[in-house]
Structure 1
């Protein structure tokens, strides 16, 4: 793969070696430099110039924007190894990222955004991901490597007026480096332990007097961090390739058109878990993990998860491809600027999983390959009329998703999943198979506008509004057959088929949803001094209603309960106040925000305790709220030193969820009759409640306290005749404990942890940067996520965080 990358880089360099390029570059005498301390994480502050962001869909200085926004510069992304959103969360405390594989990924801000658990294609995320103004509807895009990124803005709080219905929690706005008419290039190579190899290259320059181009390439590979004793392979590896080409046409000073295309692929043997522990449930003791394992002479390969050993026996794969084409046009029309963004994107997902999480052949195949196409069109006008700054536009979205699911049971399934005489007959469930056809067609359209009224030089009011229409059509069709080729149906009374449909149940339904919604907000900001901005915000927003595409509960005759096939839109009320300040001659920057977000009809994931019956469906959880305080602080006393501390206190809870699924310690027993008291948690053969009231409990995945902190110091130095600066950098993060299950369980609290990363290097004045790095320097043992496999056996498995890694990087800029 790396040979392919460098061959492509060579071809790109040759393409730019044209007469037009030579004529242009003859006049360029100054070589771009890497030297100088990087921007500060969070505030984005730097020694020279102001940080410019596009959070309001027009360019503004970050300190002038009345929005809580974290800014991370591209140079810090490169130097800290934060090459995807998962790594980015270590630098931005209010961002949460959880991924058991690319499809089952959650990106939340302030604890809200998307249900925690298996992905349901029929809903949308609450954190919008935008790359160069193009919306990426599938959260899997967050797992790919950042490619030639100039800057990332994490916008906190609802952004529905300008960024759409999918941003009730916030947005991640990624800006890549653009084509230039001055020739420039950059290259980077990193090597490290665990077979880590990463190469990046970018080249930009003119093709003619009016056309410029930029080509960027990236490749990352690394050995897996877990050893599978069954396949004798390391799993959870990295294997990423990314390409982007951009062409800029500037026929006049008033018009620019950029055509961009990108392609990324991943093909790792991923994503596996390790045994963590077992916890008592309310199933009979003979049906809990220890007894079931002993009955088949099975024991986990290790009882210590940080031995990093697993014995998963099904094939693992997380292969996926993502890419698209966009056309962006910016036209200065005199009173303002007109922008058009037209884009098509695709995502192909080819997974293989071990859904029983053990080395036994219980579920021998589990996969949901999926293909998605999306088309978006945005027209936007920005301008100024007297004391008014205007933004107005229209947005259209079309999405098609097709998924083909397969689940097949193996010879150990009967003993594990059944009771009585049938449990001793492997042929009952061996070869039992569900083939799923899942389809979604999603259409959305919106009109939006925002006005900033500068009442005085200091006081500004900014109202905004967005009208949105959504239409979703879905199909879920699961056909179940046994090893004899018989259809498994609810009409049959054959005891074997009755047992089989208790494990994999057939179901088919069509579902449709459409609705209009209105978002609006009002911001007021006041410049107390030239360096102190106070602001307050109220926002009324929503997240679109959805359709359930993982199956729904059925009645006693097996008919789908269609009332559960749709889920209502979330209704969001958001309140925020903040201060943006600079002092000490603008050497220090401190931004403070306090917020409260109330959500009605919160879209929560509900899971069924039996293996294979349901993969999880959506239901309205009543109400939740998230509130807290955030601080981004950076200080730059001299050009030789900078430091930052970013912190967040987040209290995110279910305000009302009276019929939630119960945690494993209260599941698996006979369901309590009306008036009957449930047994104590973890009582074998106990009485389980039909559902649980978890009102007041914490939302999953949210740490009350989270921090990022770091700094860099430099000294003048000369190395091998090159003048420049030596530097030492440090970046750390801390988060307190969090729940790793939609319903909090005593078995799934992840302990708090801290991570510490160091780098030591030399930057020359001529664009060379060499540094060694060590990440998770103290080899902190931590879980990214704990999972509760279905079946109520008490098994808990985990996704491990990376161990200590170290290596060396060389960067060149010319």
Structure 2
């Protein structure tokens, strides 16, 4: 609480000074106002200023102007957000908000940050690194949002809002060509085909050669081969009824990412392996586990909306999603199968949400019920050639979830609004885990019928139920029409489950599964406009208490690996966030953000497998939060030159900063030092906005930085080849984009 008090005092002093300046100064006459952003963070359209939640919203116009490629761009401009491509993948998403998230995309272990596509919850992170096309805006809600959203928003929610169908039929074609053989194409047709029916069709193909090379197979490494399609049918038979049927498909055939070996490879005797030195190119590899990778996700949803009256609306959101993944991770990065993981996953989910929205003169409310029926399954081999051993692992998790939620706001006075909400959740989970040793490489799960069965490590099925009520309350005060303050308390909940890598021999208690985790979040914020709406500022200070925190941990033990999903204990997080937009003149504007977080473990109780027999210890003094830099910030400028009938030109340079952070809860050589990313975009658009040409430079300083890694050093497991590998963010790239509308 001491850190939160300091942050609150600093923020209060800054706002006091800004308020004084706003009153004392008058803007120049050539200025323009900041555009007001409308969001649906609380399931209804509201000005961003009036939402008592820390929200970052980025419009499609800004994303296009800066050449945003995919969802990970939000990390650069959103305070205290980490959103990246998961280690060992091309399109799997990892997300952290204020220290809460998930790095391990194992099936059955649910993310702490919820991803929503048009209010449809996406349960699995595979193929969730969504490319930016056919979009209206992206919203990031920080802190628990369980009283407003259907599932797993203990850390926050990311909303990918697609563009609505409006106006006359229009066709749009966009191509992008750039560094490393980039070849992107997007074609869409959208518009009203009658007074009541709208149709939208979009096809996209994203291709790029690799940043590096697999020197063993000759294949491209870090390449991109992704196809996507969306179709939307809207029907509005009357002013009271609206229906929207949507379908989407994403296919990722990019080559597997095996990582970059960071240290010399060693054999089981500790002697160097020939050819096992780190390669000079961080995007190169010598991996020999193959170049086959395939990820596919698809979904269909139906929105039905009935405007019962001017104040009452009923909504139904029905959705089905499914996906499959096939690939491999070469942990050692060498031709031999020192530590290779061939794997496949599949999942499917059905969800149904019913909402009631009420908007009266003084009372506004959203209430709903949510149902989810999902199955996540998979299999993988842990291939250890130095022991002629394969550990085969397979299993599935079935989840049935029922929830009811409500959030009611009442205008106590014209200036003061009280919001009270709650959520009841009941989850039922069934987990089945199989794990067995085989002599031979690989196991029968991946086609080796001659492998000899060995020790059966796990073979169990278990069930668990979880139930929790979580509250939320907030007070919002309108200081004046341009300035709003709020305080809030909310609790987030994520149920427990079963570790799909559970080893009943090394960790017998794993057959019982792990328990739920909760976060109690306290927040205070100020949002407003200054200098006659030439400057907008959104700020928040927060404090969170994390209880029964779930952590995934893998520890080499002999020729095996002990996997654990642990409820390690307690932690706390405190910090502040500031973001805004300033309009200096009709031609020049700026956007900026700043985030600070201090996250610390108060208790970290885990089984210490380095002792015999293993014992449970409190390791909080030597544990840190992963993927949570203490400081992050950004600054971007936009200069627009209007050339009349010849169109207009915009120039948008930007810089984003992230301080040093840890890859895992234990400090390692993979931890990333502080770094800056410099971008710039130059865009010409015609006077009628039908044509657009853009030149976009990303990471212009060619910064080399890690976004993930695997850590199996020789001291932890002598048979794993000293496998310490890292995955890196994109190098410097330049892209030319061309767009035409008809």
TM-score, length of structure 2 as denominator length: 0.89
Alignment counterpart, residue 642 of structure 2, candidates 713, 716, 741: 716
1:804 aligns with: 732
Q: CA deviation at 1:612?
A: 6.5
Deviations 1:130-158 (A, max 9, x none): 11110001122432323311101100111
1:175 aligns with: 161
Q: CA deviation at 1:796?
A: 2.4
Query: Is the Cα–Cα contact under 8 Å of residues 381 and 442 in structure 2 kept in the other structure?
Result: no
1:740 aligns with: 663
Query: Is the Cα–Cα contact under 8 Å of residues 180 and 214 in structure 1 kept in the other structure?
Result: no
217-226 or 259-268: bigger deviation: 217-226
Please tell me whether residue 347 in structure 1 is matched to residue 333 in structure 2: no
Query: Is the Cα–Cα contact under 8 Å of residues 244 and 260 in structure 1 kept in the other structure?
Result: yes
1:332 aligns with: 307
2:490 aligns with: 539
Residues 626-637 of structure 1 mapped to structure 2, 5 A cutoff: 626-637=573-584
2:377 aligns with: 402
Query: Is the Cα–Cα contact under 8 Å of residues 205 and 213 in structure 1 kept in the other structure?
Result: yes
77-86 or 382-391: bigger deviation: 77-86
Alpha-carbon separation, structure 1, partners of 2:623 and 2:565: 19
Q: CA deviation at 1:638?
A: 2.7
Query: Is the Cα–Cα contact under 8 Å of residues 609 and 790 in structure 1 kept in the other structure?
Result: no
Query: Is the Cα–Cα contact under 8 Å of residues 317 and 353 in structure 1 kept in the other structure?
Result: no
Please tell me whether residue 702 in structure 1 is matched to residue 624 in structure 2: no
Kindly tell me: are residues 216 and 617 of structure 1, through their superposed partners in 2, closer, same or farther at Cα, counting changes over 3 Å? same
1:35 aligns with: none
Residues 186-205 of structure 1 mapped to structure 2, 5 A cutoff: 186-205=172-191
Residues 726-737 of structure 1 mapped to structure 2, 5 A cutoff: 726-737=649-660
1:315 aligns with: 290
Please tell me whether residue 760 in structure 1 is matched to residue 685 in structure 2: no
Kindly tell me: are residues 223 and 538 of structure 1, through their superposed partners in 2, closer, same or farther at Cα, counting changes over 3 Å? same
1:587 aligns with: 534
Deviations 1:92-134 (A, max 9, x none): 23211241126864211112122x3x33323321111111110
Deviations 1:201-250 (A, max 9, x none): 22212233311101112211111112211111221211111100000101
Kindly tell me: are residues 165 and 327 of structure 1, through their superposed partners in 2, closer, same or farther at Cα, counting changes over 3 Å? closer
Please tell me whether residue 157 in structure 1 is matched to residue 143 in structure 2: yes
1:604 aligns with: 551
Give the match's secondary structure for 2:195. Answer: coil
Residues 257-656 of structure 1 mapped to structure 2, 5 A cutoff: 257-277=243-263, 289-290=265-266, 292=268, 295=271, 297-300=273-276, 302-306=278-282, 308-334=283-309, 335-363=311-339, 366-410=341-385, 413-414=386-387, 429=388, 432-483=389-440, 506-554=457-505, 561-562=508-509, 565-610=512-557, 613-614=560-561, 616-656=563-603
Q: CA deviation at 1:181?
A: 4.2
Number of residue pairs the alignment of both structures matches: 698
Richer in strand (by share): 2
1:113 aligns with: 101
Q: CA deviation at 1:487?
A: 11
Give the match's secondary structure for 1:160. Answer: coil
Query: Is the Cα–Cα contact under 8 Å of residues 155 and 492 in structure 2 kept in the other structure?
Result: no
Kindly tell me: are residues 580 and 485 of structure 1, through their superposed partners in 2, closer, same or farther at Cα, counting changes over 3 Å? closer
Alpha-carbon separation, structure 1, partners of 2:441 and 2:55: 59
Unaligned ranges ≥5, structure 1: 1-44, 279-288, 415-428, 489-495, 675-688
Kindly tell me: are residues 453 and 104 of structure 1, through their superposed partners in 2, closer, same or farther at Cα, counting changes over 3 Å? same
Alpha-carbon separation, structure 2, partners of 1:408 and 1:290: 16
Q: CA deviation at 1:587?
A: 1.0
1:77 aligns with: 63
Q: CA deviation at 1:585?
A: 0.8
100-109 or 372-381: bigger deviation: 100-109
Alpha-carbon separation, structure 2, partners of 1:620 and 1:439: 21
Query: Is the Cα–Cα contact under 8 Å of residues 388 and 452 in structure 1 kept in the other structure?
Result: yes
Query: Is the Cα–Cα contact under 8 Å of residues 708 and 731 in structure 1 kept in the other structure?
Result: yes
Q: CA deviation at 1:661?
A: 5.7
Alpha-carbon separation, structure 2, partners of 1:144 and 1:123: 21
Q: CA deviation at 1:461?
A: 0.4
Kindly tell me: are residues 520 and 484 of structure 1, through their superposed partners in 2, closer, same or farther at Cα, counting changes over 3 Å? closer
435-444 or 327-336: bigger deviation: 435-444
Alpha-carbon separation, structure 2, partners of 1:311 and 1:725: 48
Deviations 1:768-807 (A, max 9, x none): 2112121111111211223203662554221112111112
Query: Is the Cα–Cα contact under 8 Å of residues 219 and 242 in structure 1 kept in the other structure?
Result: yes
Query: Is the Cα–Cα contact under 8 Å of residues 376 and 397 in structure 1 kept in the other structure?
Result: yes
Query: Is the Cα–Cα contact under 8 Å of residues 162 and 449 in structure 1 kept in the other structure?
Result: yes
Kindly tell me: are residues 724 and 691 of structure 1, through their superposed partners in 2, closer, same or farther at Cα, counting changes over 3 Å? same
Alpha-carbon separation, structure 1, partners of 2:613 and 2:296: 50
Kindly tell me: are residues 611 and 763 of structure 1, through their superposed partners in 2, closer, same or farther at Cα, counting changes over 3 Å? farther
Deviations 1:426-452 (A, max 9, x none): xxx1xx434433111100011111110
Kindly tell me: are residues 615 and 193 of structure 1, through their superposed partners in 2, closer, same or farther at Cα, counting changes over 3 Å? farther
Deviations 1:499-557 (A, max 9, x none): x75xxx632111211121111100100001111100001112211112111113426xx
Q: CA deviation at 1:162?
A: 0.9
Q: CA deviation at 1:615?
A: 6.3
Alpha-carbon separation, structure 2, partners of 1:305 and 1:652: 34
Query: Is the Cα–Cα contact under 8 Å of residues 390 and 441 in structure 2 kept in the other structure?
Result: no
Kindly tell me: are residues 598 and 81 of structure 1, through their superposed partners in 2, closer, same or farther at Cα, counting changes over 3 Å? same
Kindly tell me: are residues 576 and 296 of structure 1, through their superposed partners in 2, closer, same or farther at Cα, counting changes over 3 Å? closer
Query: Is the Cα–Cα contact under 8 Å of residues 338 and 380 in structure 1 kept in the other structure?
Result: yes
Alignment counterpart, residue 657 of structure 1, candidates 601, 604, 607: 604
Kindly tell me: are residues 102 and 706 of structure 1, through their superposed partners in 2, closer, same or farther at Cα, counting changes over 3 Å? same
Alpha-carbon separation, structure 2, partners of 1:134 and 1:535: 28
Alpha-carbon separation, structure 2, partners of 1:572 and 1:530: 33
167-176 or 505-514: bigger deviation: 505-514
Alpha-carbon separation, structure 2, partners of 1:130 and 1:318: 25
Kindly tell me: are residues 788 and 438 of structure 1, through their superposed partners in 2, closer, same or farther at Cα, counting changes over 3 Å? same
Alignment counterpart, residue 709 of structure 2, candidates 776, 781, 786: 786
Kindly tell me: are residues 729 and 563 of structure 1, through their superposed partners in 2, closer, same or farther at Cα, counting changes over 3 Å? closer
Kindly tell me: are residues 195 and 660 of structure 1, through their superposed partners in 2, closer, same or farther at Cα, counting changes over 3 Å? farther
Alpha-carbon separation, structure 2, partners of 1:202 and 1:53: 25
Alpha-carbon separation, structure 1, partners of 2:306 and 2:150: 23
Query: Is the Cα–Cα contact under 8 Å of residues 440 and 473 in structure 1 kept in the other structure?
Result: yes
TM-score, length of structure 1 as denominator length: 0.81
Give the match's secondary structure for 2:606. Answer: coil
Q: CA deviation at 1:748?
A: 2.9
Query: Is the Cα–Cα contact under 8 Å of residues 522 and 544 in structure 2 kept in the other structure?
Result: yes
Query: Is the Cα–Cα contact under 8 Å of residues 714 and 727 in structure 1 kept in the other structure?
Result: yes
168-177 or 97-106: bigger deviation: 97-106
Alpha-carbon separation, structure 2, partners of 1:46 and 1:198: 35
761-770 or 320-329: bigger deviation: 761-770
Deviations 1:552-595 (A, max 9, x none): 3426xxxx624553111112211000000101110101111000
Residues 196-215 of structure 1 mapped to structure 2, 5 A cutoff: 196-215=182-201
Q: CA deviation at 1:316?
A: 3.7
